[in-house]
Each structure stands twice: as structure tokens, then as C-alpha cells.
Amino acid sequence: MEEGYIKFHCNWIFSNNIPLDKVAALNAWRQVMYDKGWIGVYPGGIGFGNISMRCDGNTFLISGSATGGLPVLNESHYSLVTGYNITENSITCVGPIKASSESLTHAMIYECSPSTNAVIHIHNLDLWKKLMDHVPTSSENVSYGTTEMAREIKRLFSETALGQEKILVMKGHREGIISFGKDLGEAGSILIDKS
């Protein structure tokens, strides 16, 4: 299983200086998703699911790599993505932990949707099957966490109603679903309403 592995070049700058004012809001909604089993860990220890919140411009605070299985997160489990380059398959993050393997995907959503301030990526097989091809759905041959997925997100924004529906199924990423919204409440509510 390749879940949870970072597929981009990560320029990680260690720091304990992250926007603490956003951690409580992220943790509240992350806990809702964790309690539903939508963020968690597979047998064998591979974590899944992540959550982010826009800070300034296209910078965002995101749950760190390999944190899906932790029951409760704190400020040491988040990283601030300060830059990314789709062409070079790279991100720059600052924090006590490397940013999530889905950081390029989150970055492209923020880039394509200036009104979006929160992104949630969950795993749920039943909901994934139910929503596939009924909401914007990525191509089956596009893997998570890649430049191809970032480009696929951009394509879905231009060719589907993704900007209005604010939810997508990752067809090539079994169980993977992403929602987003003006805030965490909207992003989380979209998932709950669809389940």
C-alpha cells in the first residue's frame, strides 16, 4: 500500500512557530472526522486523511504527514505550507513536522478557489462509491499527492461544477474524498450532508 507517502520534494524548515490561533479550529473539525472514522489509520499503521486552513494568500496550515492515526493532534502536528511549485513537484513548509502528502492537492484548491479557506480530505469507502461520478470525479489513472492530481484539480475546476459543489471524489485514490469551503464548518458540513 502506497498510502501516506510523500511524493513531492519537501523543503521542510523546522520551526515551532506556527499560527496557533488556527490550531483549535482545525482540531475541532479534525476530531469530528476522526470520530467518524474518516481520518484515521489502516491496519499496518498507514494513516489517512488530512485537514487544512488558509492563512495568508496561498499559505495554509495543514495536518502533518503520518498524523492520521493519532487520536488527538496539537500544535506539534501541523505545518505551514509557505510555497509550492507544481512544475518542480515541490512544496516548502515550516513547522515541527513535514506537511501532509496531499499538500499539492490542497494548494491547487486554494489557488483555483480564492474564496476557499478550508479543505478536508477523508477516506470512506461507502461514501466514495456512492458519490463517484455523481459529483466531480478525478480520472482513475491519477494518483494522490502528485503533480498530476494538482493538474486534475485544476481541470475539474474548469470543466465541472467543482467550484459550486465543493466536493470531489478521487477515483484513482480508493476511498479518497475532498471537500472545501469558505470555512471549516462549510467543508465539514458538505461531507456530513452527503453521508
CATH number of the domain encompassing residue 36: 3.40.225.10
% of the chain with per-residue pLDDT over 70: 97
Q: Give rounded-to-5 percent helix, strand, coil for the chain.
A: 35, 25, 40
Contact (Cβ atoms closer than 8 angstroms) between residue 41 and residue 69: yes
| Domain-embedded: residue 20 | yes
| Domain-embedded: residue 4 | no
| Domain-embedded: residue 94 | yes
pLDDT in tens, the chain (195 residues): 444 556 778 999 999 988 888 999 999 999 999 999 999 999 888 889 999 999 988 899 999 988 999 999 999 999 999 999 998 999 999 999 999 989 999 999 999 999 999 999 999 999 999 999 999 999 999 988 889 999 999 999 999 999 999 999 999 999 999 999 999 999 999 999 999
Distances (CA, A) of 174 to 35, 115, 182: 20, 28, 26
Output phi, psi for 112, to 5 deg. -80, -20
d(CA 145, CA 179): 16
pLDDT at 2 (0 to 100): 46
Domain carrying residue 149: 9-194
pLDDT tens string 78-130: 999 999 999 899 999 999 999 998 999 999 999 999 999 999 999 999 999 99
| Domain-embedded: residue 137 | yes
pLDDT at 5 (0 to 100): 57
| Domain-embedded: residue 50 | yes
Closest CA to 179 of 105, 111, 126, 125: 105
pLDDT at 90 (0 to 100): 93
Output phi, psi for 83, to 5 deg. -170, 160
d(CA 195, CA 135): 13
Distances (CA, A) of 85 to 16, 58, 81, 191: 24, 12, 11, 29
| Domain-embedded: residue 165 | yes
Q: Report how many domains make up the chain.
A: 1
